[in-house]
Amino acid sequence: MFSQNPVFIPGPTNIPEELRRAISNPSIDHRSETFVEMFKPALAGVRRILKTDTAEVFIFPSTGTGGWEATITNLLSPGDRILASRHGMFSHRWIDLCQRHGMDMQVIHEEWGKGAPAEAFGAALAEDKGHQIKAVLVTHNETATGVRSDVAAVRRALDAAGHPALLLVDGVSSIASMDFRMDEWGVDAAVTGSQKGFMLPPGLAILGISQKAMQMVGDAKSYRCFFDFNDMKKMNASGGFPYTPPANLIRGLDTAIGMLEAEGIENVFARHHRIAEGVRQAVSAWNMKLCAHEPSLYSDTVSAIRTPEGFNSTQIVTHAANKYQVAFGVGLGDVAGKVFRIGHLGSMTDVMALSGIAAAEMTMVDLGLDVRLGSGVAAAQEYYRTHSVAAQKDAA
Ligand SMILES: *Cc1c(COP(=O)(O)O)cnc(C)c1O
Residues composing the chain? 396
Q: What is the pLDDT of residues 8-53, one digit of tens each?
A: 999 999 999 999 999 999 999 999 999 999 999 999 999 999 999 9
Total domain count for the chain?
2
183 shares a domain with 293: no
User: 250 and 234, same structural domain?
Assistant: yes
- The sheet with strand 302-306 has its strands ordered as 289-290, 302-306, 339-343, 329-330
Residue 169 lies in a domain: yes
Within-domain flag for 85:
yes
Q: Say yes or no to pLDDT of 395 above 90.
A: no
Let me know whether 23 and 106 are in one domain. yes
What residues does ligand 1 touch, defined as CB less than 6 Å away?
Answer: 11, 63-65, 90, 139, 141, 143, 170, 172-173, 193, 202
Dist CA 136 CA 74 (whole Å): 15
Place 164 in a pLDDT band, splitting at 50, 70 and 90: very high
Backbone angles phi, psi at 239, to 5 degrees: 85, 10
Q: What tens digit of pLDDT does each residue of 118-144 get?
A: 999 999 999 999 999 999 999 999 999
pLDDT-based confidence at residue 115 (cuts at 50, 70, 90): very high
Residue 205 reports pLDDT greater than 90: yes
Last residue of a domain, one of 232, 262, 292: 262
391: pLDDT strictly greater than 90: no
pLDDT reported for residue 82: 98
Task: Choose among 147, 146, 367, 378: nearest CA to 285.
Answer: 378
Q: Does pLDDT of 2 surpass 80?
A: no
* pLDDT score for 394: 83
Residue 64 and residue 173 in one domain: yes
Q: Enter the DSSP assignment of 383.
A: H
- Determine the structural domain holding residue 311 and report its residue range: 265-395
* pLDDT for the residue numbered 371: 98
* pLDDT at 1 > cutoff 80: no
Cα–Cα distances (Å) from 340 to 130, 189, 332, in that order, read: 43, 30, 9
Boundary residue ending a domain (262, 294, 323): 262
- Mutation choice for ligand 1 from 170, 178, 302, CB with most ligand atoms inside 8 A: 170
Identify whether the C-beta of residue 38 lies closer than 8 Å to the C-beta of residue 247: yes
Q: Classify 141 as helix, strand or coil.
A: strand
pLDDT in tens, 139-160: 999 999 999 999 999 999 999 9
pLDDT of residue 148: 98
Q: Which of 336, 351, 340 is nearest to 304 (CA)?
A: 340
Pairing of strands 104-109, 141-142: unpaired
State the distance from the centre of ligand 1 to the C-alpha of 389, rounded, in angstroms.
30
Residue closest to 173 by CA, chosen among 198, 137, 201: 198
232-245 mean pLDDT: 96
**How far is Cα 148 from Cα 140, in angstroms, rounded to an integer?**
6
Tell me which residue of 236, 200, 206 sits closest to 50, measured CA to CA. Answer: 206
pLDDT given for residue 392 in this prediction: 80
| Residue 12, preceding peptide bond in cis (omega within 30° of 0) | yes
Q: Which residue among 173, 199, 200, 301 has the greatest number of ligand 1 atoms within 8 angstroms of its CB, and so is best to mutate?
A: 173
Is 138 part of a structural domain of the chain? yes
